[in-house]
Chains A and B, each alone.
Chain A
Amino acid sequence: MSTATVGDLVSQPYKHGFVTDIETEKIAKGLSEDVVRLISSKKDEPDFLLQFRLRAYRQWLQTAEPDWAALGYPPIDYQNIIYYAAPKQQEKKASLDEVDPKLLETFDKLGIPLSEQKRLSNVAVDAVFDSVSIATTYKEKLAEHGVIFCSISEAVKEHPELIEAYLGTVVPSNDNYFAALNSAVFSDGSFVFIPKGVECPMELSTYFRINSADTGQFERTLIVAEEGASVSYLEGCTAPMFDTNQLHAAVVELVVLDDASIKYSTVQNWYAGDENGVGGIYNFVTKRGQCRGARSRISWTQVETGSAITWKYPSCVLQGADSVGEFYSVALTNNHQQADTGTKMIHVGPRTRSTIVSKGISAGHSSNSYRGLVQIGPKALGAKNYSQCDSMLIGDQAAANTYPYIRSQQPDAVVEHEASTCRISADQLFYLQSRGIGFEEAVSMMVSGFCRDVFNQLPMEFAAEADKLLALKLEGSVG
């Protein structure tokens, strides 16, 4: 007879937990004004950026770490973290042939081949290893369309006017504790610029890999879509298995002008810690997009499966008239993982619309909270929001919470909220099994079914990947 339980199925070993043995340049542990200056000088940055960092650092010193999330963790020692680590290779290479083969091999192993022959044919990839971007594919092809896709360090050098114009305008450096920290010490990340009227000819993707044990990762992503432009962007993330916790505090800013759209998808698979909750990434991320223009659109889709702690609320500020914000999320927690995640939809302009679909799956001893704000300002005449938050519990030790906040200053606004909680029951499993469907496939069918509304939103290339990722987390030996 089968002795497997659903709990066994969701407790799959992490498959990206290897460490790449590569010489790394690291600075000493700890954070000070000198460290901020050192990072800036290592990157040879213009003065405006150094001033941006220093201001952020001072703001960080004066800000308290937020404690309102439903998360519990020991105090983080910010002086015990390395704020800059880079694989030792000189300047960023002109061609991939010059990139350290060990790095290429690492990304190969992660299923993100970068070399000419093997790379994905319709996706351009920026590969970030610890603190630096090591390669970006298809840059030339994109440049033919006027699309800029490069590491943010490179953008600082090549397009300083764009960085100065947009950086920190969506997420100001004093926005919150972790945003301030990131603004002070961010090392790399991606920059995307889609000029007026251009529909980006391929999917863009950044793949973040943490490799060093005691390094924090603070990447910064900035995407700008000018009038009528559109782009679909995906980020993926993995990290090795260490028994210590690594801090990851990213900031992502999106700007969309009139009639432009950005679709931002995340498949997050950082190391989540072991079954006893030892190790794993602390993921404190600020993601926000501004629909500045009329009829502009931002869509966030996230599949969150990793991290020991997730603190993340991808948001939309809907300023432009008739602008649209969307948030589609699947968050899977297992063992001792904790997630407090959701979104903020800030309706400023008239007839702005937003949709929130959140699916939380909690297994093991984990805790999974949805926290979302829908705010309708006084000028948002005819604004509409629809929110749907569903939780699925696996086993009887996991927790699921929903914290919806609704603030409306506009009596004409329509705000709808639906929530449900379900459990994979033994009877449902038995029903599927008694039709010849194996235990694993039965669980996977039910979880996929539960997540379908969100998976349908992922770019086609990645929907299968996300399904596979959940299946990986759910697959196990039966009998």
Chain B
Amino acid sequence: MIRPDAPLLLDICDLHASVEDQPILKGVNLSIRAGEIHAVMGRNGSGKSTLSKVLAGHPAYTVTAGSVNYRGADLLELDPEQRARIGLFLGFQYPVEIPGVSNLEFLRVATNSRRAERGDEELDTFAFEDLVHERLKVVQMDPAFLGRSVNEGFSGGEKKRNEILQMALLEPLVAILDETDSGLDIDALRIVADGVNQLAGPENATLLITHYQRLLDLITPDYVHVMAAGRILRTGGKELALELERTGYDWVDLELARLEPETVEVA
């Protein structure tokens, strides 16, 4: 939902970042307001996942230039856990397994750290169980997964549902979902998309990172951005994604070749 007067949540300005001295992001500009759903598309290696990790504060990436403003605060100054506590969420493409750490306890500690930041009282184990059982419905998840170790032995679809469950508990203001659709069969995709739609509201915003139109058939974006060579090359409405589906990315190469001939390898 686009409302020009909605508050600005995330403002990315000329963001450059590198990993092991290899520049990946080369000047990303993106503004996200409350209520909006954005999709970032692009080929492998275009910098989509790097953008999500830099925003969440992954230590392997170094920001070399630019700024990210999150609701008036300098996001890049904050530790990853502080970013999460003030409402930034990253749904991982490949959620890691953490043996020995109970999923339920993990969810409770995470939820309470976000609640503490918002000034809400801490939930004890009983109150939290009530909350988590209510939120499980968002992703139609079996409560048995709460008793297991975090993501351990979960199938690809179960891991992604666990990500959306975390999102439902943390109630982020900006949720970045990194290829949440990858590795999902059509039923799991529908459940995950349904969860995201339920959680999207006028106060928060969603940034979907995806290769495929099929996710955007289920979650309708307000804006679609095409990323290539570490920057956003074109921005449009939902029809841009459909156009990509039809024409592929060849035009991207042409446009890049026009912008910076030296960076394009023509296959």
User: B99, A436: Cβ atoms under 8 Å?
Assistant: no
User: B114, A434: Cβ atoms under 8 Å?
Assistant: no
Interface residues in B74-113 (C-beta closer than 8 Å to A): 77, 79-81, 83-85, 89-90, 92, 95-96, 98-102, 105-106, 109-110, 113
User: A434, B95: Cβ atoms under 8 Å?
Assistant: no
Closest Cβ of chain B: how far from A77's Cβ, in Å? 43
A432 within 8 A of B: yes
B181-219 toward A: CB 8 Å interface, digit per residue (1/0)? 000000000000000000000000000000000000000
* Size bracket of the B interface: 20 to 34
* Size bracket of the A interface: 20 to 34
B138 within 8 A of A: no
Instruction: Please indicate the chain B residues that have their CB under 8 angstroms from the CB of A111 in the complex.
Output: none
B117 within 8 A of A: yes
User: B106, A425: Cβ atoms under 8 Å?
Assistant: no
- Best-buried of A422, A434, A437 by chain B (most CB within 10 Å): A434
Instruction: Please indicate the chain A residues that have their CB under 8 angstroms from the CB of B96 in the complex.
Output: 425, 427-428, 431
Q: Whole-angstrom distance between the alpha carbons of A426 and B96 in the complex?
A: 10
User: A438, B81: Cβ atoms under 8 Å?
Assistant: yes
User: B113, A430: Cβ atoms under 8 Å?
Assistant: no
Partner of A434, one of B57, B99, B100, B102: B57
Instruction: Please indicate the chain A residues that have their CB under 8 angstroms from the CB of B109 in the complex.
Output: 437, 441, 445
B266 within 8 A of A: no
Instruction: Please indicate the chain A residues that have their CB under 8 angstroms from the CB of B57 in the complex.
Output: 1, 433-434
Q: Whole-angstrom distance between the alpha carbons of A452 and B89 in the complex?
A: 29
Of all chain A residues, the one with the shortest Cβ separation from B84 is A436
Instruction: Please indicate the chain B residues that have their CB under 8 angstroms from the CB of A74 in the complex.
Output: none
Q: Quick one: given A435-B110, A437-B113, are A430 and B101 in contact (CB under 8 Å)?
A: no
Main secondary structure of the interface of A (DSSP, over half): helix
Instruction: Please indicate the chain B residues that have their CB under 8 angstroms from the CB of A2 in the complex.
Output: 59, 79-80
Instruction: Please indicate the chain B residues that have their CB under 8 angstroms from the CB of A479 in the complex.
Output: 79
B228 within 8 A of A: no
User: A452, B100: Cβ atoms under 8 Å?
Assistant: yes
User: A433, B80: Cβ atoms under 8 Å?
Assistant: yes
Partner of B98, one of A1, A431, A433, A436: A431
Q: Whole-angstrom distance between the alpha carbons of A434 and B176 in the complex?
A: 12
A446-469 toward B: CB 8 Å interface, digit per residue (1/0)? 101110100000000000000000
Q: Whole-angstrom distance between the alpha carbons of A305 and B159 in the complex?
A: 35
User: A435, B84: Cβ atoms under 8 Å?
Assistant: yes
Q: Whole-angstrom distance between the alpha carbons of A449 and B99 in the complex?
A: 7
Instruction: Please indicate the chain B residues that have their CB under 8 angstroms from the CB of A450 in the complex.
Output: 99-100
A439 within 8 A of B: yes
Partner of B80, one of A430, A446, A452: A430
B46 within 8 A of A: no
A1-12 toward B: CB 8 Å interface, digit per residue (1/0)? 110000000000
User: A437, B110: Cβ atoms under 8 Å?
Assistant: yes
User: B81, A433: Cβ atoms under 8 Å?
Assistant: yes
Instruction: Please indicate the chain B residues that have their CB under 8 angstroms from the CB of A437 in the complex.
Output: 81, 106, 109-110, 113
- Best-buried of B59, B80, B92, B166 by chain A (most CB within 10 Å): B80
Interface residues in chain A, defined as those with a beta carbon under 8 Å from any beta carbon in chain B: 1-2, 422, 425-428, 430-439, 441, 445-446, 448-450, 452, 478-479
Can you sample 8 A-B contacts with CB below 8 Å? A1-B57, A426-B60, A430-B80, A432-B110, A436-B114, A448-B100, A449-B149, A450-B100
Q: What 10 A-B pairs have minimum CB-CB distances, sorted nearest first?
A: A449-B100, A436-B113, A435-B110, A436-B84, A433-B80, A449-B101, A436-B85, A433-B81, A450-B100, A2-B79
List 11 additional contacts besides A431-B96, A432-B110, A434-B56; criterion CB under 8 Å: A1-B59, A430-B58, A432-B106, A434-B89, A436-B85, A436-B117, A437-B81, A437-B106, A446-B98, A449-B102, A452-B100
